[in-house]
Amino acid sequence: MMTQIIIPSDCGNAPKKNFLKDFYTAWAKDDLDFCKKHLDDHIIWEIVGQNTLSGIENFEKQLQHYPIRNASKMVIETIITHGTDASVDGQIWTNEGAVFAFCDVYKFKGFKGFSLKSIKSFWVELPTGSGCRGN
């Protein structure tokens, strides 16, 4: 089943916004090669309230249990970038009918390029029929 992906088109001339748009699209389409290609070898991924892991291998293992890989729909509402910092927020609908609101905060390895040094993820499961945007 294909994931319906809705992303704002206002990325314009913002390379890191365009990269994050592509990163989420690859993530939702299970293109792990694209995702891993843009991770620092020592990536740190903190999933608030659950765990913190480091390294590409652990990142890939954690993805096996992450709602975005089982999404029927993903709506990105906002992509914000400034220097080496960025954030993305939106909602994910899983094939089982669960709905999650999320905000991921990123640190890039440097001002140039698209290597991700760290990700801090906030995910909240919403009640079914909560009326969040993108329904």
pLDDT per residue of the chain (135 residues) written in tens, 0 to 9 = 578 888 877 656 789 999 999 998 888 887 888 988 999 999 999 999 989 999 989 888 887 777 777 788 999 999 999 999 999 999 999 888 899 999 999 999 988 889 999 999 999 999 876 555 544
**How far, in whole angstroms, is CA 103 from its chain's centroid?**
8
CB 84 within 8 A of CB 107: yes
Interatomic CA distance for residues 30 and 67, integer angstroms: 11
Interatomic CA distance for residues 5 and 31, integer angstroms: 14
pLDDT at site 76: 94
Rounded to 5 degrees, what are φ and ψ at 121?
Answer: -110, 130
Give the pair of three-digit tokens for residue 14. Answer: 């913002």
CB 84 within 8 A of CB 8: no
Interatomic CA distance for residues 85 and 18, integer angstroms: 14
Interatomic CA distance for residues 105 and 71, integer angstroms: 20
